[in-house]
């Protein structure tokens, strides 16, 4: 559950209208049946502006004339649009259905009511591109802090936003890092799973090896959801075995 809207006088956060955290996030997170954590690279401020609080992101169009509750999803911003689509798709997919057919306003309303988390793993702001070697150096440098941040959240589904076939072991610096700090993610095999899904069976955690949400040439929502659906058919107890 996100807080009230507020007009963003500074015009930061890529939005004019932002959401104010309501103070109940810890309780909501503690009781969320399946906790979803998006792991992203860094915050694209153009390399100049200061960072913003990711909890304030509203995913809505920039407008001073439309009431915030009537503003639509900002589909021109593919990063935030694909975050919304991914969360909606994952949490509405089960062993019987894969969630592919929905309207933007339906997905946005759903995300407004859900608690989820996102961590920018590289702690310095950046621009539109963060090379893999720069990202790897950054997360290694901040390993202790990043480990505490991730472990404290204790997510169930990690959406790892930055697949690259050139990265050794898993194709993901995120999943390699998760395995380094104590998880044991192994690739799940399946006809439509490919390199998408990794499962830590002991800890009952899933890592989804996704392209970066702003990569409009490669980001594949349908591929992600097909793979997650096939994983659930292999491990149907996953979505039934977390917090009730």
What pLDDT, on a 0 to 100 scale, did the predictor assign at position 244? 60
What pLDDT, on a 0 to 100 scale, did the predictor assign at position 90? 97
pTM score, two decimals?
A: 0.90
What number of H helices and E strands is found in the chain?
7, 8
What pLDDT, on a 0 to 100 scale, did the predictor assign at position 35? 96
pLDDT in tens, 47-100: 666 777 777 777 877 666 666 667 788 888 898 899 999 999 999 999 999 998
What pLDDT, on a 0 to 100 scale, did the predictor assign at position 209? 96
Q: How confident is the model at residue 216 (pLDDT cuts 50, 70, 90)?
A: confident
Instruction: Find, among 61, 77, 79, 235, the residue nearest to 159 by Cα.
Output: 79
What does the alpha-carbon distance between residue 237 and residue 244 come to, in Å, rounded to a whole number?
13
* Average confidence (pLDDT) over 31-51: 82
pLDDT in tens, 121-160: 888 766 677 777 888 998 999 999 999 999 999 999 999 9
C-beta separation of 14 from 28 below 8 A: no
Residue 12, pLDDT > 70, answer no
- Structural domains of the chain sorted by starting position, each given as residue range(s) with its CATH number in brackets: 34-53+75-240 (3.40.470)
What does the alpha-carbon distance between residue 139 and residue 83 come to, in Å, rounded to a whole number?
22
Residue 199, pLDDT > 60, answer yes
Residue 103, pLDDT > 70, answer yes
């Amino acid at each position: 559950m996100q807080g009230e809207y507020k007009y963003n006088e500074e015009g930061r956060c890529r939005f004019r209208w932002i959401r104010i955290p309501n103070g109940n996030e810890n309780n909501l997170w503690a009781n969320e049946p399946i906790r979803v954590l998006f792991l992203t690279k860094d915050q694209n401020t153009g390399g100049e502006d200061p960072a913003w609080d990711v909890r304030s992101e509203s995913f809505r169009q920039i407008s001073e004339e439309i009431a915030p509750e009537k503003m639509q999803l900002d589909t021109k911003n593919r990063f935030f649009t694909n975050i919304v689509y991914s969360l909606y798709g994952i949490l509405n997919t089960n062993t019987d259905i894969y969630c592919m057919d929905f309207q933007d306003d339906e997905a946005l309303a759903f995300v407004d009511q859900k608690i989820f988390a996102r961590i920018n793993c590289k702690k310095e702001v950046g621009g539109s591109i963060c090379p893999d070697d720069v990202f790897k150096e950054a997360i290694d440098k901040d390993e202790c802090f990043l480990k505490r941040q991730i472990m404290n959240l204790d997510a169930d589904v990690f959406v790892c936003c930055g697949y690259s076939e050139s990265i050794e072991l898993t194709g993901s610096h995120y999943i390699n890092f998760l395995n380094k700090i104590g998880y044991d993610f192994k690739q799940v095999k399946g006809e439509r799973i490919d390199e998408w899904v990794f499962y830590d069976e002991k800890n009952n955690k899933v890592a989804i090896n996704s392209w970066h949400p702003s990569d409009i040439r490669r980001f594949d929502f349908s591929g992600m959801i097909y793979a997650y659906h096939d994983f659930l058919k292999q491990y149907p107890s996953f979505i039934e075995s977390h917090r009730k």
